[in-house]
Amino acid sequence: MSNKDKQHGLRETSFIKFRHDDYMIIIARHSRFAWIQHTDSKYMYFMYITRLQKRLIGDNTSEVAEFNILCFFGMYNSFSHLIQNVQPILSEYILDSKKIVEIVMLCEELYDNDEDHVDGEGMR
């Protein structure tokens, strides 16, 4: 992020996106909100799971459209908190354990070595 971006209050964000059957899993990292004293961590994490579903648009037509239905939303105050919770949540939507491991491995891209941990534990 450039100095100009920092001056204008823009925050660093990053995310991973994974599609499995009709589900879209998005796990995002965002700079901690200064006005919330929820943690000493540098970032907070969000997980969204949506499902693509087809439905009729009108009562009198056979027109069908696709809708993204929110199945799950979670907010985590540190990377370790996210990692502790991601596998049990994903196993409710994905039965293939190899896919779950693949998503957890993708979460590693969101980890920042400089992140301050409340519990003092480093992930690497």
Question: Looking at the predicted structure, is the pLDDT value of residue 121 above 60?
Answer: no
81/87 Cα distance (integer angstroms): 11
pLDDT in tens, 61-79: 888 899 999 999 999 988 9
pLDDT at site 17:
94
User: Residue 9: which region, alpha, beta or left (left: phi > 0; alpha: psi -120 to 50)?
Assistant: left
| Distance from the Cα of residue 80 to its chain's centroid | 13
Q: With bands split at pLDDT 50, 70 and 90, how would you rate the model's confidence at 98? A: very high
What does DSSP assign to residue 30? E
